Amino acid sequence: MSIDLSQFHQVFIDEAYEHLDAMEQLLLAIDIEHPNLDDLNAIFRAAHSIKGGSGTFGFSNIADLTHALESLLDKLRKETLPITHEMVSAFLACGDLLKLMLEAHQDGGDLDEQRVTDMKTLLLSLGEEASILEDSATHTPTQSPVTTYRIRLHPDSDIFSGPASFEALVADLSRLGTLILIADQGAGRYEWTLTGSVVLQDLLDTFAFICQDYEVTITEEPAVVEDEGFGFFMDLPEPSSASDADFGFFVDESELPASQASEDSGFGFFVDETELPAVKQAQQETEQGFGFFVPESELPKQAASIKESPAAVAPVPVSAPRKSKQADASKAHAETSIRVGVEKVDQLINLVGELVITRSMLAQSVSELDPVHFETIHKGLVNLERNSRDLQEAVMSIRMLPINFVFGRFPRVVRDLTQKMSKKVRLKLVGEETELDKGLIEKLADPLTHLLRNSIDHGIEIPEVRRAAGKPEEGTITLSASHQGGSILVQITDDGAGLDREKLIAKAREKGLPLSDNPTDKEVWQLIFAPGFSTAKEVTDVSGRGVGMDVVQRNISEMKGQVEIESAQGVGTTIGLRLPLTLAILDGMILRVADEVFVLPLTRILESFQPDSSQMKSVAGQGRVVQMRGEYLPLVELHKLLGIQPQYMRPEEGILVVVETTQDKVALFVDELIAQQQVVIKSLETHFRKVDGLSGATIMGDGRVALILDIDRLARMHSTFQAHS
């Protein structure tokens, strides 16, 4: 009997996609001149994980390709090869191909095997090309020299829960070289020496599985130091320092046997300036090897030359400490998350909603009880209210994801588009951590991609034009997200040409679109949302067909959001998307007509007032209007539209709510405003159908259903109603 592995295929495929996305992000962020070794390792790990998984599940073509990818990446991370632009492009293309292959496995579709072979050949040739270069350079060895490391393991707690894991570790280490146990200090503390042709990274990788980075110290023993390490520092004046610089990561521990600093420097990142004076020397050496934090006053001349040499001679890993900490943080984050189906979360939200309703029903009954005799019940209810509110917030937050989930794909889009159009564009992401509802994030991807394409195609000028206009050749597009009150503002700002007012007006006249004689900027900008409107001189495969902005606007208003445009010719354009925080919760105004209760989205309400009879006017054929500060607003009587016998027939007795529709402002006549309240939006369509004038329903504190009004539809119903009567 064999285990049916196919049940795990989806898990592997999901994970593989995640790894590929992570890989792509790292590749896009990589600095070719000074690649971050951590990043290279992370990319390598991603490729390695995919290879491992695909091998296990029998996706041999994926395993083959990732093997080729991994081999090349391995050379990069061991620094036997410098990374090049061609490689990054090849890796990205390879990532795309792997995604296609995954899709093919998932859907059982066909795959162009030739592309796979080509990609494999490309990866291999990139690896070889560079090794030929290397050979001619002679100094760079393809194999690591024999080195002796001193390994000191000092975990916070005894990490070897059973003898098995300790033996496994010893076995792993023995495979790398000759292992000699020096000291067993108990509680999981050991010291070894290891001699063999090993690179430090392999050792670190071995320990990565069993303990935290800081819990192990690996240093190079001076006795067998090979100055030629990587051959970069041959002609430096002081060979022993040079050997330290080999990897730029560690110092000679033999000089400072018990120093804390050397421990830190094992990774080279966390150099603590407040160390004891006794270890100062060690610090300096670390700093030298690394090229950072050099206290100039203390630095001997020789050391200075060492410090400069690595940067000048070869791509020694130079990375900012801050960045690597970030990488650690995101890695830790990935490890502590679990994958849960959305329907489970939604069910949880429903159940919590039920709990809240049950609580308010209880509260209603309890309020009739004598507080003196039932004090504990009252107290308990207060606690229950607080707890259920906290619970509701916590559950809602599960649905919230950082907007980075959609922003994350754009560096790639920009890279591809700018290469295609030979423009230079830098993409700046701001506020990627801003959280919003998962449902919104998914729906935001398409409109944002479209706007970004527009900005690159129409907004940013070609480098020559930009130079002539006195702007930097490289254009900047900023994608930003921020919370503003109860909504989220996502903005795309470019420093391109801006919208051309005259051209837009001319085009609108040509197309016969209605436009006043002296339109405001806002009116002119609105033109770009008209279907089929494009001012592009030629249609590219990127944009210019004039389909799009109307779709963007429709998508955004489906999300109950708004699109705002600001533009100045020659300076740039900002397109802002204002969205509600979540699709699941609505800030509502509860109102009443007769004994029926409705919810009106608070964001649409401008004001409410009780008119006097002098403000009410009748317009022949157009029903009644109400005069408010010189404006005439059509009077929409909710009771007429919904066929209710209202408490008040005259607006002077009830209340008017001024609401903003997509077209205009209207005054909605209702009997009474009850309260402002957050409500959980429920769909009517799940078990029923769409009803004109309603956008959904919600459940009130007493367990009854209240309907949520769709203001735009109501306004339209009002116009047809007027036309018929």
Partner 1 sequence: MTDAASSQHNQAKREFLTFTLGEEEYAIDILTVQEIRGYNAVTRIANTPDYIKGVINMRGVIVPVVDMRLKFHLGNATYDEFTVMIILNLGQRVVGMVVDAVSDVVALSADDIRPAPDFGATFDTQYLLGLASVAERMAIVVDIEKLMSSQDMGLVDQLSSEAV
What are the φ and ψ backbone dihedral angles of 118, each rounded to 5 degrees? -60, -45
114 or 686, CB closer to partner 1? 686
Neighbouring-strand partners of residue 677: 588
23 or 666, CB closer to partner 1? 666
486 or 701, CB closer to partner 1? 701
**Smallest separation (angstroms) from partner 1 to the CB of 4:** 29
87 or 641, CB closer to partner 1? 641
Cβ-based neighbours of 469, under 8 Å, separated by 6 or more: 461, 570
316 or 707, CB closer to partner 1? 707
Residue with tokens 């994608």, as numbered in its chain: 479
Q: Whose CA is closest to 414, among 456, 359, 369?
A: 456
357 or 489, CB closer to partner 1? 357
C-alpha–C-alpha distance, residues 669 and 650, integer Å: 9
Query: Can you read off the two tokens belonging to residue 321?
Result: 């400490």
450 or 682, CB closer to partner 1? 682
The DSSP secondary-structure symbol of 459 reads I
List residues binding partner 1 (CB under 8 A).
350-351, 353-354, 357, 596, 641-644, 682-694, 697, 699, 703-707
Q: Whose CA is closest to 679, among 356, 311, 257, 447?
A: 356
C-alpha–C-alpha distance, residues 346 and 439, integer Å: 11
C-alpha–C-alpha distance, residues 607 and 665, integer Å: 11
State the alpha helices, DSSP H only, in 108-190: 113-137, 163-176
State the alpha helices, DSSP H only, in 559-658: 638-642
Q: How many CB atoms lie within 10 A of CB 196?
A: 18
The DSSP secondary-structure symbol of 682 reads B
**Smallest separation (angstroms) from partner 1 to the CB of 489:** 32
**Smallest separation (angstroms) from partner 1 to the CB of 520:** 35
Query: Can you read off the two tokens belonging to residue 540?
Result: 């590219």
322 or 687, CB closer to partner 1? 687
552 or 586, CB closer to partner 1? 586
C-alpha–C-alpha distance, residues 636 and 667, integer Å: 6
**Smallest separation (angstroms) from partner 1 to the CB of 394:** 18
The interaxial angle of helices 37-56 and 60-77, nearest 10 deg, is 160
What are the φ and ψ backbone dihedral angles of 368, each rounded to 5 degrees? -85, -10
SS3 of 260-306: the string is HHHHHHCCCCCCCCCCCHHHHHHHHHHHHHHCCCCCHHHCCHHHHHH
C-alpha–C-alpha distance, residues 656 and 716, integer Å: 18
C-alpha–C-alpha distance, residues 251 and 283, integer Å: 8
**Smallest separation (angstroms) from partner 1 to the CB of 699:** 5
Q: Is 302 left (phi over 0), alpha (psi -120 to 50) or beta?
A: alpha
Cβ-based neighbours of 133, under 8 Å, separated by 6 or more: none
Query: Can you read off the two tokens belonging to residue 12?
Result: 């592997």
**Smallest separation (angstroms) from partner 1 to the CB of 594:** 10
94 or 591, CB closer to partner 1? 591
**Smallest separation (angstroms) from partner 1 to the CB of 706:** 7
The DSSP secondary-structure symbol of 474 reads S
C-alpha–C-alpha distance, residues 589 and 528, integer Å: 33
178 or 364, CB closer to partner 1? 364
**Smallest separation (angstroms) from partner 1 to the CB of 597:** 8
Q: How far is CA 205 from the centre of its chain?
A: 28
621 or 643, CB closer to partner 1? 643
Kindly give the pairing relationship between strand 623-628 and strand 585-593.
Answer: unpaired
94 or 584, CB closer to partner 1? 584
567 or 698, CB closer to partner 1? 698
C-alpha–C-alpha distance, residues 32 and 1, integer Å: 51
Residue with tokens 């592997």, as numbered in its chain: 12
Sign (positive or negative) of CA dihedral 286, 290, 295, 300 = positive
